[in-house]
Amino acid sequence: MSSTPRPRIGIIGTGAIGGFYGLMLARAGFDVHFLLRSEYRAVVENGIHLNSAVHGALTLNPVQAYSNAADMPRCDWLLVGAKTTSNAALVPAITQAAADGAKILLLQNGLGVEDELRPLLPDNLHLLGGLCLICVHRAQAGVIEHQALGTVNLGYHSGPASDQEREQITAAGAAMFNLAGIDSTVAAELGQARWQKLVWNVPYNGLSVLLDSGTSGLMASQSSRELIAAIMGEVVAGAGACGYQIPADFAAKMLKATERMPDYLPSMYHDHAHKRPLELKAIYAAPLAAAAAAGCSMPRIEALYQALQFIDQRNSQE
């Protein structure tokens, strides 16, 4: 990377995820530009603050902040950390902020998010997905709490690249994060990576809302542990039906890894607490539809999804 000019990076959706990775990249010397909405004023005035159990207390100030994508310089990479529920609404901002041949990296969980966005994007843009294994949340405007982890597992979805160029792009993306002190790996198959991430997200996101509990509480009770394990088993079966073989010990490893984590409230818990829309389509509806199309039913996940839909609808009415 030494002789290559460092790419210009745009952050679309500067919440916990976008703020964390954007700040880390900016502090590593990358030219990072942040698109903000409700937090624009606070970030311009006070910068972005990261309270990290891993990296310590870090501040980025001043911030190259924008309230309008039209004012941003054209970026080589756009990191989208917004909620999946707002992807379609972000298309104009992405298109405006993207340089020719830009790489659009969705730092989002769930299934089908690239498939949904792709038809709305110009053909000259590369689309990638990135699965973030991280415990992070936004404490207040411009203030991010980072409890643990941070790995980004990224894969190429679609765009004008040849097979060889795809490998170069994903390797460059991982190297970019590595230079910022962040573990990053390349997924040969983005679909596989998304299903593997769902093994964690499907049980913990929904159950944290339904049972009003962080991960420590969920792991402390044998009943909820068994429920989580059963739901993980359904995700693994659904992935298998869709052609993605998840290693036999993967779910058990996720359970163990979660036990070692600090008590963590998944993003859906925070969305629920703030009566924001829950990411049900990406994390529940899309995997259920994909598995059903492959002849696989996931009854516990379907029940969880229906219960969460009830809660999401009630939140929207309050």
Q: Which residue has the tokens 């009830």?
A: 310
Nearer of residues 31 and 302 to its own copies, judged by Cβ: 302
Stretch that binds its own copies, among 74-82, 86-94, 133-141, 223-231 (CB under 8 A): 223-231
Closer by beta carbon to its own copies, 183 or else 212: 212
Give residues 250-309 in contact with its own copies (rule: CB under 8 A): 299-300, 302-307, 309
3-state SS, residue 214: coil
Residue 66 vs 284, nearer CB to its own copies: 284
Say which of 83, 197, 256, 281 is annotated catalytic.
Answer: 197
CA atoms of 157 and 130, how far apart (whole Å)? 10
Contact indicator for 91, 117 with CB cutoff of 8 Å: yes
CB of 294 to its own copies, least distance (A): 18
Out of 2, 3, 164, 223, which residue is the one contacting its own copies (CB under 8 A)?
223
Look at the alpha carbons of 134, 140, 142, 145 in this order and tell me if their dihedral is positive or negative. Answer: negative
In whole angstroms, the minimum distance from the beta carbon of 217 to its own copies comes to: 8
| 226 binding its own copies? (CB under 8 A) | yes
State the binding string over 182-221 for its own copies (x if CB under 8 A, else -). -------------------------x--xx-x---xx--x
Q: Which of 276, 277, 311, 315 binds its own copies (CB under 8 A)?
A: 311
Could you give the CA distance from residue 128 to residue 114 in angstroms, rounded to a whole number? Answer: 8
| Residue keyed to tokens 């792709």 | 118
In SS3 terms, 26-87 reads as HHCCCEEEEECCCCHHHHHHHCEEEEECCCEEEEECCCCEECCHHHCCCEEEEEECCCHHHH
What is the enclosing helix (H) or strand (E) of 186? strand 184-186
- Shortest distance, CB of residue 312 to its own copies, whole angstroms? 9
Q: Burial of 178 by CB count in 10 Å (0-12 exposed, 13-18 middle, 19+ buried)?
A: middle
Selected binder of its own copies within 224, 241, 242, 296 (CB under 8 A)? 224
The residue (of 119 and 299) whose beta carbon lies closer to its own copies is 299
| Of residues 6 and 300, the one with the C-beta less far from its own copies | 300
Active site residue 281: no
The CA-CA-CA angle for residues 190, 191, 192, to 5°, reads: 90
What positions carry a catalytic annotation?
A: 197
Binding site for its own copies (CB under 8 A): 207, 210-211, 213, 217-218, 221, 223-224, 226-227, 230-231, 299-300, 302-307, 309-311, 313-314
